[in-house]
Amino acid sequence: MKPVLMCRDVVVDFDGFRALQGVDLAVYPHEVRFLIGPNGAGKTTLLDVICGRTRATDGRVLFFSHDITQRPEYEIVQIGIARKFQSPSIFPFLTVWENMELAMRQDRRLRSVLRAKLTGEEKEMMAAQLERIGLLDERHRLAGSLSHGQKQWLEIGMQLIQRPQLLLLDEPIAGMSAAERERTGEWLHEMAEHCAVIIVEHDMDFVRRYSKQVTVMHEGKVLCEGSMDEVQQNEQVIDVYLGRGKNACCASGM
């Protein structure tokens, strides 16, 4: 099976600080890949490189057969990679409905936006998506007035309606209630029927419950890959990450 995403020897150098020191990663269709690792391991930087927010100093990022290493962010989005940021970032002074309208898959060039009108089909699709994330009744409210959890859901909905082939999530459950976490976990696997997902997460209970494949990063490198059980048995991982858990399990989040 061809991977959706291939990172080959990706290096990011922030003026001498090597945030990523040669990362290799392959993600396959319908996979939910968890990225874990201590703070500063380079997880978010890796997501940034994939979506074009940070430029790789060296190495290549391949999306199917496209080399996207040097493409601008908006083009990377257009070919099918969606990114959800850590803090909810929605448009507070647009309504929920208008937020969805902008997120929807569409021709995003100026000349077609100037003439754009919602078709019946598009309206149905947007309503269906809002129904799924439980915000259909809130569609005329300004997004800025939603609760924190609702904003998270709105943003997730905005990613889904783009129908991406690869979805990048950065700590999506931060600030969510227990019930919302559960919904997110279930939804993750539902999502994987349509696209591949890379998710950065610190909450180890959540990772244990919902992960199949886990990639452990440490100091800008991939330490090991495997299921959560395998990873937890790995000597190196125990040394640099879980090892600290013997004395200070809470500090490392394990």
Partner 1 sequence: MNKRWEYWLFFAALFLAPFYLTEFRLSLLGKFLCFAIVAVGISLIWGYTGILSLGHGVYFGLGAYCMAMYLKLEASRGHLPDFMEWSGVRELPWFWKPFAHPIVAIIAAIVLPTLLAALLSYLTFKNRIQGVYFSLLSQAVVVVFVTLFIGKQEWTGGTNGLTNFSTVFGFSLSSPLTQIVLYWLTAAVLALIFVMTRRLTTGRLGKVLIAIRDAENRVRFLGFNPTVYKVFVYSLSAAFAGVAGALFVLQVGLISPEMMGIIPSIEMVLWAAVGGRHSLMGAIIGAIVMNTAKSFLSENYPDLWLLFLGALFVVVVLFVPKGLAGIYESLAAVRIKGKRGHEREARVDVS
Helix ranges (H only) for the chain are 43-51, 73-78, 96-103, 110-115, 120-132, 148-160, 178-191, 204-210, 228-233, 235-237, 245-248
Nearest approach, Cβ of residue 34 and partner 1 (Å) = 21
Six token digits for residue 167: 């979805």
Q: How far is the CB of 233 from partner 1 (least distance, A)?
A: 37
Residue placing its CB nearer to partner 1 in the complex, 95 or 234: 95
The tokens 């990639």 sit on which residue? 215
Nearer to partner 1, 101 or 201 (CB): 101
Choose among 102, 97, 105, 77: nearest CA to 162.
105
Compare residues 92 and 123 and give the one whose CB is closer to partner 1. Answer: 92
User: Which residues make up the interface to partner 1 (CB under 8 A)?
Assistant: 51, 53, 72-75, 77-78, 82-83, 85, 89-95, 98, 101-103, 108-110, 113-114, 116-117, 140, 142, 158, 162
Shortest approach of partner 1 to residue 141 CB, angstroms? 12
From the CB of 85, what's the least distance to partner 1, in Å?
Answer: 8
* Nearer of residues 2 and 117 to partner 1, judged by Cβ: 117
- Give me the least distance between CB of 115 and partner 1, in Å please: 8
Please, which residues bridge with residue 66 across strands? 63
How far apart are alpha carbons 134 and 120 in whole angstroms?
A: 21
Instruction: Give the DSSP letter of residue 95.
Output: B
If the CB atoms of residues 122 and 225 are measured against partner 1, the closer one turns out to be 122
Q: How far apart are CA 139 and CA 123, in angstroms?
A: 12
